[in-house]
Each structure stands twice: as structure tokens, then as C-alpha cells.
Chains A and B, each alone.
Chain A
């Protein structure tokens, strides 16, 4: 079993040449074998949390720690963190013209292997074919340039393809459900569920309870104002769906402005 621990994490971003504190002390512990979901209003810092864990240089850690099995992650480079076992399915994946999906996947897999022991072509293709089929993706998609000209839904599917090929310890899925039609949502969920094992943990960020019908969480966390303000089981998501964030905020007596407050 592996454990990812986030302790009192405070993170700022640069806005108009000034630092603005977004995460104001986040605490979270994930174990492999568990599925967690984070919900919360727009702009509250969910993507900031996931990008910070991954090491996006736009996010500046002010204090706190992130460790994987006791090892500090914050001092590691982005690619080291990935090789340590983290995977972030991004809300807005980059497009890279001229680099094919296949070439990219092979580079990602070989980055985890000894230099003189790259994955064999047959093993790679067998796994690729299997995963393409699982995600209802055509072999042509794999030959296309990385995300270039992909539709919103295709990009999300492609993130899950990478997840399946790379097989990390922890996957953070940032709004993997946004922009997906109903069928695609089920396909993507099938992909994530295929990885379920005692050696794999998931942290899903979502706005919609619907995703949680397909990927059932053990824990649901609510983030507001840069903190996790409540943790519960899958029922918490239903409650939020019914009552909205304002209800929870008032119940908890929090002083947080919501974008859509009247």
C-alpha cells in the first residue's frame, strides 16, 4: 500500500505581479485502494491543488508538505513525481503537433524503465490495443498528433488512455467528466474502474454527482475558500446536489464568498 499525504498546504499564484493565496491550509490523506472525490465551487482551488501536487511551476508553495510514502514530493521535479507514481489527468491538456500519441506513450513508459530495457514493441502494442478497445478509441487516434485537433471529449478519453498505459499509483482526475456526453462518461468511468486495485488510488475532482454513480467514491471532500471544509461518504455528494454550496457554507458558519451568491 502507498500513501499520499498533504499537510497544511498553502499555495499562491501570481496575479498582476502580486501573489494571491489560493490554498489556505489543505489537509488530505489518500491511500491506494481508496477512491476520493473533491467537490467545490468554481475558483476555490481544486485545480490549484492538483497542479501543485504535480509540480506545475505556476503554483507557488508557501508552506506545508506533500509526501508519497514519507518521501517529500515538493522538492522533486515534475517528471520525478510522475515516475514516483503520480498521474494528473488535466483539465486542459496541452496539444503537441508533430509528436504522435504512440510515440509519446512509448516515451512515457520507457521513462520508467532502464535505458537498456525499453518496452518491447509487441508488449506495447498488445497493451495499447487492449486499452484503445476498452475506451472505444480507434487505432487512428493513437497515430494522431498528441491532442492536436482533438475534441474536448476526445482529449479526456486520451487522458484516460495515458492513465491506463502508464498505470500510476495515484491518479488525480481534474474534471474528467466535463464536456463528455453520457456514453463517453460511462466509457471513461469503465477505464478508471479497470485500474481498481489495492495498489491504485484515485482523487477525482468534479462538479457533478453523476460521475460518482459510475466511479463510486469512498470519501467525498468539499473544498471552499481554499480549504477542505467537510468530508463524508458518497451521500455527501447527493446532499450537495440537492442543497448547493451556500447551504453547506451557512450550516458550517463559514465566511466564504461564492461567485454565484445573490
Chain B
């Protein structure tokens, strides 16, 4: 898209949405940045030929065409959207009573402008970070907004379901924002999926701005259909003593690059990132997970496990960065891949960047095949090869999946994994 066309489209959209001046300005600047910035680098993945940049200026979409079946998918959620249309928002009474805000980004911009302005693209992520981030700032349409006030403790996990409407070809450019004020506590489950099988280009950003001593669990289950090309970007920014647990499952069937980055800004802040991924067929999924320790005594743990079938490619780049001044901090990571076919391609790259002395850092990485001795043992008890293989894979992923907090989530993720492993022609 030409810069001029893009600018006109963006300003037009911003006007139709009667967006505040600061946001129109942010978008206008992002269009300019987009034109000049470079694409982010993902080690060992060449995604230049992907159609990620073939997105149009946003339009206000028409009726989402809700069918009964589609509505049923969102029935038990706290937030449900199809494309840009928000279908359902329902906070538990206990959360609403404590002043928790959950709405879509469009509503938040109108009703909670100051909160959005103070946190959108200001802390966890800057709009000029790279070309793809600038694109998101320029073209984002909607998303969810969650605000948890100081001292609020949300007991039930909040479930978000966002579907890309692939019943026809789609651009999906969304931005989600989570702000947790000091001493608050919340669990979020975000599911990103598809309805339909048409081509789609997906740009999805999540920012989590975690206030001092707030505790946030964020489970992200991404299950986009084949024919999707996606850039997923989840960012965390932690104030002193904040805790953020990411539990991420990349169960997509299309092409994906994902950036999961967390900045441990505050003293004593802590992030645990657990990622599992299954790649099959011809797809490529490339996942960069970075945690940067800025604050003294901050703690970073990254554990990633991936399974590769068929002729798929799966890359884990784990980046642990301890910057100067982060005394007494820890950065640990483990990246493991299991390859189930000779045509599979996988890479697990741990990268440690340490600019301080009194710190602890460690990494482990492996790319392996199914252990023949284990297979023989299982089969010697009468278990057929495919079932035995499934058991070995499940064992491989177990370390991560079995640690998921919610039993319901564990179960649904396990069955999602089973489906992905059995997928012959997704």
C-alpha cells in the first residue's frame, strides 16, 4: 500500500470512529514510521515472501452474520468477538463490583480515554519498534481492553475468545490492552481462533502493563486456521514485584511468526514464560521469546517445547537479556523440540546476553527424535505405534502442559494437541 493511500485511509477511519486527536496523531505518525522502518528480524526464519504487509486500510465492518453455531462458541466467555464485532462482554459480578473494566478497545477509547492513552503503546511496546508494530499502530481496529484497579482480586479466570472471520478473505489487525494496577490479581485466558477457511492476514498485539506487585496469569491459546498468515506479538511490562505468567500454546495451522517479549523493569519483578507449539503439514511457525531483566533481583524463566510433524518448520529463539544494573537477577531458559518426521525442520536457539556480573543465567536446548527404546518398550506391551507415539509426545509436552493452572485449560489444550497431532489434512 502506498503511504499516501494508507494515510488517507487511516485518517478517514479515525474520523469515522470519532477517535480523539491523540490517537489520530499516533496513527498518522505510525504511517510515516511504517514507511521507513525495517521488518523485525527472526533468527533462522525468512518470512519476507509472506503476504503480511498486504493489508488494506481499515473499514468499519458490517454485520458479522452470527449463526447459532457461532454464537454457541462464545457462550461461556467473558468477552467474545468475531472479526471487529464485539458479540458479548460479561464480567463476573464479583469483578464488576471491584471496579474491573472489560470492554472492547473502541469502547475503551471513548469511555476510558485517559487509561488507554496512558498505556497504549507507551510502556510495553513503542509504536516505532519495527515495521510490523508500526503497522499495528496505524491500522488496528479493535481488541479487548481490561483494567484491574488497585487491590482488586479477580477470582475466576476471565475468558476471551476472538475469532478471525475467515468466511471470506480477511485482514485482521487488532490490539489488546491489559492494565493491572498495583496489588491487583487476575487470570486471563485469551483464545484466538478462526471461523471459516478463507485467506487471512492477522496482526495481533497484546500489551500487558503490570503495576507494582500485581499478579497476572495470561494463557494464550492460538488456533488459527490454515490459509492464515499471522504476526502475533505479546508484550509484558512489569513494575516492581509484579509477576506475569505467560502460558502460550501455538496450535495454529497457518504461517506464524510470534514475538513474546517481557520487560522486567521493576526490582523483584518476575516473569515465567511457558510455550508449547505443534507444527504440521507444510507450515512454518517461528517463535521469539525474550525476557529482559532491567530491575535488580528480577527473575526470568522461559520453558518452550515444540513438536514438529510432516514437512513443517518450527523455530524457537529464546532470548534472555540481563542489562547493566540488574544486580542479583536470574535468567533461565529451556527450549526443546521433538521431530517426528525426517522432513521436519526445527531449531532451538538459546541466546543469552549478559551485561551484569552478579547474576545467574542458564540455558538448555535440544532438538531430538522420538526415542526408539521408549517406542519399543511401549509397543512390547501391545500399544500400537501411533498410540505409543502419542504417549511419548504427551510425555514430552507434559512438563509444560501439566503445570497449567486450570484443569479445564489443561484438558482442552490436551485435546487440541491430540487433534493437531492427528491432523492429516487440516
Hey, which bits of chain A sit against chain B, CB under 8 A? 54-57, 77-79, 82-83, 87-88, 90, 93-99, 103-104, 107-108, 111-112, 145, 162, 166
Contact = CB atoms under 8 A, between A and B. Distances in A.
Nearest to B398: A98
B376 A57 contact: yes
Contact of A107 (B377, B385, B387, B398): B387
Interface string B379-407: 11111110110011011111100100000
A88 B380 contact: yes
Residue among A79, A93, A97 with the most chain B CB within 10 A? A79
A162 B383 CA distance: 13
A96 B377 CA distance: 9
Given A111-B384, A162-B381, A78 B376 contact: yes
Interface of B: 371-374, 376-385, 387-388, 391-392, 394-399, 402
**Chain A interface mostly helix, strand, loop or mixed?**
mixed
Nearest to B391: A99
A166 B379 contact: no
B395 to A, nearest CB: 3
A54 B380 contact: yes
Residue among A54, A82, A95, A162 with the most chain B CB within 10 A? A82
B380 A145 contact: no
B391 A107 contact: yes
Given A57-B376, A97-B398, 14 more contacts: A56-B376, A78-B379, A82-B379, A82-B380, A96-B395, A98-B396, A99-B394, A99-B395, A103-B391, A107-B381, A108-B381, A111-B382, A111-B387, A166-B382
Given A77-B385, A96-B392, A90 B397 contact: no
A129 B374 CA distance: 26
B391 A96 contact: yes
Contact of A96 (B372, B378, B384, B385): B378
A94 B374 contact: yes
Contacts of B395: 96-99, 145
Contacts of A82: 379-383
Residue among A57, A87, A99, A104 with the most chain B CB within 10 A? A99
A22 B402 CA distance: 44
Contacts of A90: 377, 380
27 contacts: A54-B380, A57-B376, A77-B379, A79-B379, A82-B379, A82-B380, A82-B383, A87-B380, A90-B380, A96-B374, A96-B377, A96-B392, A98-B398, A98-B399, A99-B392, A99-B394, A103-B391, A104-B378, A107-B378, A107-B381, A108-B383, A111-B381, A111-B382, A111-B383, A111-B384, A112-B382, A166-B382
Contacts of B396: 98
Contacts of A145: 395
A189 to B, nearest CB: 22
B381 A166 contact: yes
A108 B373 contact: no
Contact of B383 (A87, A95, A107): A107
Contacts of A108: 381-383
Contacts of A77: 379, 385
A109 B231 CA distance: 44
A83 B371 CA distance: 22
Residue among B373, B378, B381, B394 with the most chain A CB within 10 A? B381
A1 to B, nearest CB: 21
B376 A94 contact: yes
B385 A83 contact: no
Contacts of B371: 94
Nearest to A112: B382
Contacts of B383: 79, 82, 104, 107-108, 111
Nearest to B377: A94
Nearest to A162: B381
Contacts of A55: 380
A162 B378 CA distance: 11
B394 A83 contact: no
A79 B382 contact: yes
A65 B388 CA distance: 27
Contact of A94 (B373, B385, B387): B373
